[in-house]
Amino acid sequence: MTDSLRIIPLGGLGEVGKNMTVFELGDERIVVDAGLAFPRDEHFGVDLVLPDFSYLVGRPVRAIVLTHAHEDHVGGLPYVLREVDVDEVIGTRLTLALVKSKLDEHGLAAVTALTEAEPGSAPIELGPFRIEFIRMAHSIPDAAAVVIETSAGRVLHTGDWKLDHTPVDGLKTDVGALAALGNLGVDLLLGDSTNAERPGMTGSERLVGEAFRQLIPLRTGRIVVASFASNIHRVQQAAEVAIANGRKVAVVGRSMRKNMNISRSLGYVDLPDEMIVSPKEAMDLPPGEVLILCTGSQGEPMSALSRIAQRNHSFVHITPGDTVILASSLIPGNENAVFKVINGLIRLGANVVHKGNANVHVSGHASAGELLYAYNIVKPRNVLPVHGEYRHMKANAELARSTGVENVVIAEDGVVVDLVDGVASIAGKVDCGYVFVDGSNIGDITESDLKDRRILGEEGFISVIVVVDSVTGKVSSGPEIHARGFAEDDSTFDEIKKPICEALDRAVAEGNTDSYQLQQTVRRVVGRWVSNTHRRRPMIIPVVIEA
C-alpha cells in the first residue's frame, strides 16, 4: 500500500486570511501556522476571526510549526492550544520570542513546549514527519519556509516570503537551499499567493531605508514614523537614519514598545541606549532633534497615530512643520480610516509622506517574477497555492502552470488534498467556517447573530411590550413601545398603539391566546405599519407577558 499524505488548509485561503494547514499521515499530524484574521465590516463588532480548527479537536498534533510571527500566522495559537492536544510549538528564535510574549498574556507560556529551530540546523523528527527550515526574507525577521519529508513525498511550504537580495539583516532567502531541494525533488509546493497578480519583482526592504535617508535629513520639525510594529527592520532603519542625523528616538504604542524591547534584547535591533528617550522627554527636545516611532499606520481608531491626528494623545502633539511618514501598506478596507488620519494630520499642519507620494513602503511578498523563479528552481511536481484571495490563488496557479508544473490544485479552506504516488488531488472536504472571538466568547457568535447585528446596526429595533390578563386574555398594560437607532421621538408610535390592541383583541376573540401567536400578531401589525409609513425594516421585538 502506498502512503498518502493528507493536506487540509483550515484558513488563509479566502478573503479573510488566517493561515493554518494540517499535514496528516495516517493518524499522525503536524500543523503549519495558526493565524488569526482581523474582522471586516461584515463581521459586525467581533474582535477576531479564527480559523475553524474543530477538525483538530480530539486529534492529537505532534507539533505546530511556525513560519514567522505575523498575527495571521501565529495569532490563533493561544486559542488552538486551549482546545487541541499539541505536543510542542516549533519556530525560529525571534518567532518564538514574540509568540512567548503572546502566550504569557494568555497564561499559556508555562504550559507550552516551545522548541527553537534555526534554518539549516539538523532536521527535526516528528513521528513520520521530518521537518527542516529554510530561511526566507519577509517583512519580519527570522521568517522561514518549512520542508516536510514523509514516506508519501517531500513537501515545501514557503510561508510568506520574497526574494530580497539586500535584506537589512543580510539574511537572504536561501536560494541555494531551495535549489538543492529542487534537485532532490519536491513533490508538493504550498506557496504564498499574495502578490501573484503583481508583475515583476518586489523591492528590497533596504529601499525604504533609502527613502528615509532622503527624507529625514531635510526636515526641521518633529518626525513621526508610523509602521507595523512587527516590521522590525523598517523601524530599525528609521531609527538609524534619525540617530545619524542627530535625532533621538522615542517609541509610542504598546505593540511597538513590546516588539522593540524583544528585538533589542535578542540583538535583532542594535540602537544605543542613550539615543532612546521616552515620549515625554521627546516632546521636551527641540523638534529637529527627535523622531517618534509609532503604531497606527492602518488608521486603527484607538492607535497612537489616530490619537495624535485627533489631538488626543497624552504626549505627542503635532505642530506646523512636523512630518509624519506612514511607512506602510494600505490594506484594502482601511483606506477611509487612513485618509481620515491623514486629513487630521494635515489640518494640524503636518507634512504627510506615504506610499502614494514616496517610496516608504515595499511589500513583504514575492511578486509574479519571484514566483516564476521559485517554481523554476524548486521544480515542484504539484503546487497548492495558499495565502490569498481566490483571484491571487488563481494567478499563482497560472504562474506555476506557465513554468511547466504538471499539476496545480486550488483548494479553498476545508478542502482535503491527498498526495498519493506523487500526485496531489482533492479527496474531500471537512467542515470549515469562521470562528469568531467576541469579548470572552469564542465561537459562540454565529452567522445568525451577525445577521441580527447587521439588521440592528442598519435599521435599529422597535420593541413592543404588552401585558395581557392571564384570565381574560385582554390587554391589561401597554403596549409600551421602545425604539433605538430608529429616529424615533416619543409620539412616533402613538398612532400604532390602538391598532395593536385591536389586533390582539381580535386574535383573542378568535381563540389565539398562545403568547407566541400573540407576539406574531404584534410583529405583523407593527412591521406592516413601519414599512408603509416609514419605508424601513427595523428589527421588531414583540413581547407579550401574561400577568
Under rule CB under 8 A, residue 480 binds its own copies: yes
> Which of these, 148, 147, 152, lies nearest to 134 by C-alpha position?
147
Among 315, 373, 461, 529, binds its own copies (CB under 8 A): 461
Site for its own copies in 7-36 (CB under 8 A): 15
DSSP state of 203: P
Q: Which is nearer to its own copies, 52 or 205 (CB)?
A: 52
* 452 is an interface residue for its own copies by CB under 8 A: yes
Task: Look up residue 8 and give its DSSP letter.
Answer: E
Q: How far apart are CA 463 and CA 486, in angstroms?
A: 11
User: Can you list the positions of beta strands (E) in 227-318?
Assistant: 248-252, 276-277, 290-294
Q: Is 467 in the site for its own copies (CB under 8 A)?
A: yes
**Alpha-carbon Rg for the chain in angstroms:** 28
- Kindly state whether residue 458 participates in binding its own copies, applying the rule CB under 8 A: yes
356 binds its own copies (CB under 8 A): yes
441 binds its own copies per the rule CB under 8 A: yes
Closer residue to its own copies, CB minimum distance, 23 or 434:
434
Please identify, among the stretches 92-100, 187-195, 477-485, 494-502, the one whose residues bind its own copies according to the rule CB under 8 A: 477-485
* Binding of its own copies by 41 (CB under 8 A): yes
Count of CB atoms within 10 A of residue 239's CB? 25
Of 147 and 211, CB closest to its own copies: 211
C-beta separation of 35 from 75 below 8 A: yes
> Which three three-digit cell numbers place residue 521?
400578531
Please identify, among the stretches 91-99, 133-141, 243-251, 437-445, the one whose residues bind its own copies according to the rule CB under 8 A: 437-445
Residues 320-349 that bind its own copies (CB under 8 A): 332-333, 335-336, 339-340, 342-343, 346-347
- Residue 449 makes contact with its own copies by CB under 8 A: yes
Nearest-approach distance from CB 228 to its own copies, in angstroms: 19
Should residue 391 be labelled a site residue for its own copies when binding is judged by CB under 8 A?
A: yes
Distance CA 372, CA 396 (A): 9
Beta strand 382-386 with 407-408 is parallel
> What DSSP assignment string belongs to 384-402?
EEESB-HHHHHHHHHHHHH
Instruction: Work out how close the CB of 205 gets to its own copies at its nearest, in angstroms, rounded to a whole number.
Output: 24
Q: How does 77-87 read in b/e, with b if 16+ C-beta sit within 10 Å?
A: bbbbbeebebe
Q: How far is the CB of 518 from its own copies (least distance, A)?
A: 14
Range list of β-strands (E), 92-128: 114-116, 124-126
Residue 501 binding its own copies, by CB under 8 A: no
Stretch that binds its own copies, among 28-36, 214-222, 483-491, 496-504 (CB under 8 A): 483-491
Of 277 and 371, the one with the shorter C-beta distance to its own copies is 371
User: In the set 320, 357, 494, 510, which binds its own copies (CB under 8 A)?
Assistant: 357
3-state SS track over 204-235: CCHHHHHHHHHHHHHCCCCEEEECCCCCHHHH
Three-state DSSP state, 480: strand
Identified binder of its own copies from the candidate list 485, 497, 520, 523, rule CB under 8 A? 485
Shortest Cβ distance from residue 406 to its own copies (Å)? 21
User: In angstroms, what CA-CA distances link 330 with 41, 198, 338, 382?
Assistant: 16, 16, 8, 33
Q: What is the 3-state secondary structure (H, E, C) of 174-195?
A: CHHHHHHHHHHCCCEEEEECCE
535 binds its own copies (CB under 8 A): yes
Pick the stretch among 18-26, 120-128, 233-241, 454-462 that binds its own copies (CB under 8 A).
Answer: 454-462
Counting Cα atoms < 13 Å in the Cβ hemisphere of 334 gives 16
Check binding of 484 to its own copies (CB under 8 A). Answer: yes
Q: Identify which range of 231-239, 373-381, 458-466, 503-511 contacts its own copies by CB under 8 A.
A: 458-466
Nearest to 142 by CA among 198, 82, 74: 74
Of how many residues is the chain composed?
547
- Residues from 169 through 198 that contact its own copies (CB under 8 A): 197
Q: Which stretch binds its own copies (CB under 8 A): 89-97, 203-211, 265-273, 533-541?
A: 533-541
Total residues contacting its own copies by CB under 8 A comes to 63
Class of residue 181 by CB neighbours under 10 A (exposed 0-12, middle 13-18, buried 19+) = buried
**Residue 126 contacts residue 30 (beta carbons within 8 Å):** yes
The interface region with its own copies, picked from 28-36, 37-45, 69-77, 506-514 by CB under 8 A, is: 37-45
Return the C-alpha cell found at 47.
474582535
Q: Which residues bind its own copies (CB under 8 A)?
A: 15, 40-41, 44-45, 197, 332-333, 335-336, 339-340, 342-343, 346-347, 352, 356-357, 389-391, 394, 438-441, 444-446, 449-450, 452-454, 456-461, 463, 465, 467, 476-478, 480, 482, 484-487, 533-536, 539, 541, 543, 545-547
